[in-house]
A = this chain, B = another copy of it.
Amino acid sequence: MNLDNSGLHQLVATKLDEAGQMYTQKRQKLVDALSQAGPCTLPELLEFSDGIAQSSAYRNLTVLEEMGVVRRLVHHGEYGRWELSEELTGHHHHHLVCHSCDVVIDVELPTHIEHLMDEAFEKAAIGSKFTVDRHNIDIVGTCANCQETAQA
């Protein structure tokens, strides 16, 4: 368990405990990795939190997702990605997605923009009788690394 994350771990521990789930070392490692590295693929998670079996990682991520601790993202790369849930971090955010290397980076937008968007989305949904719960925004482009690589 990473000391910098004691608050985070405390939160997760409570959440899991209330649901009768254990907050094992393996699960802590996954949460640590996600909190330090941002949205990760499974191979990345296995690397960062080494000593964990692939099947266990998948199973634990599924459990953590059901508990509202992590969220599964899906983009175009070969692997899915996982991140800590907004419910847990308290930070509403969106994603910069590199269409060259598939990396995903968090970004936050100004509150007034979020408000404007929420209003616009609500209005847009009325015509189709949709009830809006949330929005996901991918800002797609080229990351700094891939821009350099393209130069060379």
Q: Which residues of A contact B (CB under 8 A)?
A: 72, 74-76, 94, 96, 98-99, 105, 107-110, 113, 116-117, 120-121, 124-125, 127-144, 147
Cβ 8 A contact of A125, one of B75, B96, B124: B96
Q: Within the complex, which residue of B75, B109, B131, B142 is in contact with A130, where a contact is CB–CB below 8 Å?
A: B142
Residue pair B133, A105 in contact (C-beta under 8 Å):
no
What's the number of copies of this chain in the assembled complex? Answer: 2
A88 to chain B, nearest CB (A): 18
B147 engages A131 (CB within 8 Å): yes
| Chain B residues within 8 Å of A141, by CB | 125, 130-134
Given A113-B116, A130-B96: A108 and B135 interface contact (C-beta under 8 Å): no
**Pairs A–B under 8 Å by Cβ, sample size 27:** A74-B74, A74-B75, A96-B130, A98-B130, A105-B130, A107-B124, A107-B125, A107-B128, A109-B124, A110-B120, A113-B116, A117-B117, A121-B137, A124-B139, A125-B141, A129-B143, A130-B139, A130-B143, A130-B144, A131-B147, A132-B139, A132-B141, A133-B140, A133-B141, A134-B140, A134-B141, A137-B138
